[in-house]
């Protein structure tokens, strides 16, 4: 009786998800290169393409591990993790998400388990909360523009400049600006929220300009970049540098600008869920991500940016992001809870949606 009741609840859950679609996104199995000795389930709000080199390199080290990679959009990952936290559904062994505020919320609600190792000690304090959430990447938030359609004088090198550009040439860019749908994308919300905090005035003007420009919103980075590559969008606002760089490498028409007034820096978060079935393997993978080897692979083949390294070639931006004070890391900590406040979030999104309806 109970089982059928909970199954019914679960079924109800799925049906009420509505337009967000299925909880689970793409799933890919990386069979163990050697005889299988363990299994690692990664629940990630991260493009598989970015993660693939890391996963494969990890399997070089641990050939007995079969890795199951399940991709979600950030909000879906969050919901799934909340469910898993109560034990209603099976948890992954490690969660990876760019929407670190959601991870912080999960950790705050007791859904994470702490992990300490020599690798975790190397994590800067702004990217570590309670030894439960670790930022394992360094990803500036950038503008991407289409060289083919954006003349050099129009290239915006600051948020202010972008707002100005849209005011000066409203017609040229109407319907040609792309960004996240912050309702669908957790990381989009996080970035927008931080923009509003970082420079409230600029942000207000920028939102207003974006609103007037009939900005195109998409669920995720890849889609925004896809629209840009396709020429439908000329300037993409608030794109994660790593994806942008990958796209720019694939398509030379795309150019990357790191804003010079300030640039948010996101550190993708990793977390071992409290109900992880195989936390030990999850922790091993986490150690790998934080290890020099993992970081090198990430820098070279996955996320391209690194806190200690200069910007990758071809990226338009300041010499040194952090020392110049332009880089503003999003601190992984309790302050992110404010972003996760229900009323806050709903008001913010409502305000945003009012100005930038989905298009």
Nearest-approach distance from CB 346 to another protein, in angstroms = 9
Report if residue 343 touches another protein, rule: CB under 8 A: yes
Closest to another protein by CB, 131 vs 260, is 131
Nearest-approach distance from CB 237 to another protein, in angstroms = 22
Q: With CA atoms as reference, report the closest residue to 180 among 168, 171, 170, 192.
A: 192
Nearest-approach distance from CB 348 to another protein, in angstroms = 9
Q: Helix (H, G, I), strand (E, B), or coil: what is residue 119?
A: coil
Contact (CB, 8 A) for 44 and 280: no
Closest to another protein by CB, 22 vs 342, is 342
Q: Are strands 315-316 and 254-257 parallel, antiparallel or unpaired?
A: parallel
Query: Which one of residues 334, 350, 357, 359 is an interface residue with another protein (CB under 8 A)?
Result: 334
Binding to another protein, residues 136-195 (CB under 8 A): none
Nearest-approach distance from CB 240 to another protein, in angstroms = 22
Cα atoms in the Cβ-side hemisphere of radius 13 Å centred on 201: 1
**99: how many CB neighbours lie within 10 A of its CB?**
27
Residue with token string 């439960």: 132
Report if residue 353 touches another protein, rule: CB under 8 A: no
Report if residue 309 touches another protein, rule: CB under 8 A: no
Query: Which one of residues 109, 154, 208, 307 is an interface residue with another protein (CB under 8 A)?
Result: 109
Q: With CA atoms as reference, report the closest residue to 64 among 280, 248, 266.
A: 280
Size of the site for another protein (CB under 8 A): 21
**100: how many CB neighbours lie within 10 A of its CB?**
30
Element (H, E) at 96: strand 94-97
Q: With CA atoms as reference, report the closest residue to 113 among 138, 145, 81, 159.
A: 81
Residue with token string 């007995």: 64
- Taking the C-alpha atoms of residue 68 and residue 254, their distance in angstroms, rounded to an integer, is 32
Query: Which one of residues 40, 123, 302, 336 is an interface residue with another protein (CB under 8 A)?
Result: 336
Give the contact letters, 193-222, x = binds to another protein (CB under 8 A), - = no: ----x-------------------------
Report if residue 341 touches another protein, rule: CB under 8 A: yes
Query: Which one of residues 335, 350, 354, 357 is an interface residue with another protein (CB under 8 A)?
Result: 335
φ, ψ of residue 305 to 5 degrees: the values are: -95, 150
- Taking the C-alpha atoms of residue 62 and residue 285, their distance in angstroms, rounded to an integer, is 9
Query: Which one of residues 21, 87, 110, 124 is an interface residue with another protein (CB under 8 A)?
Result: 110
Binding to another protein, residues 266-295 (CB under 8 A): none
Nearest-approach distance from CB 185 to another protein, in angstroms = 20
Binding to another protein, residues 312-331 (CB under 8 A): 331
Q: With CA atoms as reference, report the closest residue to 310 among 322, 302, 298.
A: 322
Report if residue 347 touches another protein, rule: CB under 8 A: yes
φ, ψ of residue 136 to 5 degrees: the values are: -115, 5
Nearest-approach distance from CB 203 to another protein, in angstroms = 14
Report if residue 116 touches another protein, rule: CB under 8 A: no
Query: Which one of residues 272, 281, 339, 356 is an interface residue with another protein (CB under 8 A)?
Result: 339
Closest to another protein by CB, 108 vs 117, is 108
Tell me the sheet residues that pair with 39: 66
Query: Which one of residues 6, 122, 232, 344 is an interface residue with another protein (CB under 8 A)?
Result: 344
Nearest-approach distance from CB 95 to another protein, in angstroms = 17
Contact (CB, 8 A) for 267 and 329: yes
- Taking the C-alpha atoms of residue 295 and residue 164, their distance in angstroms, rounded to an integer, is 38
The number of angstroms, rounded, from the C-alpha of 213 to the middle of its chain's C-alpha atoms is 25
Q: Which residues bind another protein (CB under 8 A)?
A: 107-110, 125, 129-130, 197, 331, 333-339, 341-344, 347
């Amino acid at each position: 009786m109970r089982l059928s009741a909970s199954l019914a609840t679960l079924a109800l859950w799925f049906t009420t998800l509505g337009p967000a679609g299925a909880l689970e996104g793409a799933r890919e199995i990386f069979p163990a290169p050697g005889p299988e000795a363990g299994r690692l389930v990664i629940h990630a709000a991260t493009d598989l393409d970015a993660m693939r080199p890391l996963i494969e390199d990890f399997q070089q080290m641990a050939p007995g591990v079969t890795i199951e990679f399940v991709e979600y959009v950030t909000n879906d990952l969050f919901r799934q993790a909340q469910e898993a936290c109560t034990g209603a559904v099976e948890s992954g062994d490690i969660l990876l998400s760019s929407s670190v505020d959601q991870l912080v919320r999960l950790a705050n609600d007791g859904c994470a388990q702490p992990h300490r190792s020599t690798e975790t000690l190397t994590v800067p304090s702004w990217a570590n909360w309670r030894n439960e959430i670790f930022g394992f990447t360094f990803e500036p938030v950038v503008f991407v523009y289409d060289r083919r359609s954006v003349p050099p004088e129009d290239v915006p090198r600051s948020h202010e400049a972008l707002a100005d550009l849209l005011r000066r040439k409203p017609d040229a860019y109407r319907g040609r600006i792309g960004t996240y749908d912050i309702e669908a994308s957790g990381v989009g919300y996080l970035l927008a929220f931080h923009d509003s905090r970082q420079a409230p005035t600029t942000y207000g003007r920028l939102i207003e300009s974006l609103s007037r420009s009939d900005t195109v919103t998409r669920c995720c980075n890849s889609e925004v970049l896809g629209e840009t590559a396709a020429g439908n969008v000329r300037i993409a606002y608030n794109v994660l540098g790593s994806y942008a760089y990958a796209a720019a490498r694939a398509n030379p028409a795309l150019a990357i600008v790191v804003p010079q007034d300030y640039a948010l820096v996101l550190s993708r978060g990793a977390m071992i869920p409290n109900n992880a079935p195989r936390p030990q393997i999850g922790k091993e993978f986490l150690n790998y991500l934080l290890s020099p080897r993992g970081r090198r692979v990430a820098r070279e083949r996955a996320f391209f940016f690194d806190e200690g390294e200069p910007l990758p070639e071809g990226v338009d931006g300041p010499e040194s992001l952090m020392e110049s004070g332009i880089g503003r890391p999003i601190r992984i900590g309790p302050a992110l809870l404010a972003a996760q406040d229900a009323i806050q979030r709903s008001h913010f999104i409502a305000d945003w949606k009012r100005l930038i309806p989905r298009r």
